[in-house]
Amino acid sequence: MRVMVLVKATEDSEAGLKPSAELTEMFEAMGRFNEELVNAGILLAGDGLKPSSEGKRVAFDGPGRTVTDGPFAETRELVAGFWIWEVKDMAEAVEWVKRCPNPMPGPSEIEIRPFYELADFGDVVTPELAERENQLRARVSGQ
């Protein structure tokens, strides 16, 4: 089962990273945790995101597109970083997240969301579509 593990933004993450001893300790702890994930064969991808002030949103309405510059309100709805993991089930993902060092200087939250798999769509996915999707995934992963 593939899951996306979302590190929710905080006021601290939206303010941008400021060099400090606390930040160095946090990076070192997170580096050790990421190494554990790699050694366990779980980590597929992951990274931190810059504050929303450096981002853009594109809103869709039929054929129209509207671009909005950051920063975006409601910090608790924003994502500051992510991992993509391959785990056996949601319980394993939860256990790994519970072992994670706090990703922020203060209180923080991590959300775990499973990816859709082709099997979730049943008969809607034809064998041809499944093969094309598998080929694309292989190309993306470099296999």
1-53 residue pLDDT tens = 999 999 999 998 999 878 788 888 999 999 999 999 999 999 999 999 999 99
User: Is the full-model pTM beyond 0.75?
Assistant: yes
d(CA 47, CA 66): 27
Contacts of 120 (CB under 8 A, 6+ apart): none
| Contact (CB, 8 A) for 95 and 53 | no
Which helix (H) or strand (E) segment is 59 a member of? strand 56-61
More confidently predicted of 140 and 31:
31
Does residue 79 register a pLDDT over 90?
yes
d(CA 125, CA 118): 7
Which residues on neighbouring strands pair with residue 43, listed in sequence order?
85
Write down the pLDDT at residue 53: 96
What integer is the mean pLDDT of 76-97? 96
Residue 66 DSSP SS3: strand
Helix, strand and coil in the chain, % to nearest 5: 45, 25, 30
Q: Phi, psi (5° rounding) for residue 56?
A: -140, 155
Q: Say which DSSP state 124 is in.
A: G
Mean pLDDT, the chain, rounded, equals 92
d(CA 41, CA 109): 24
Write down the pLDDT at residue 114: 97
Write down the pLDDT at residue 143: 63
* Topology given in CATH for the domain delimited by 2-112: Alpha-Beta Plaits (3.30.70)
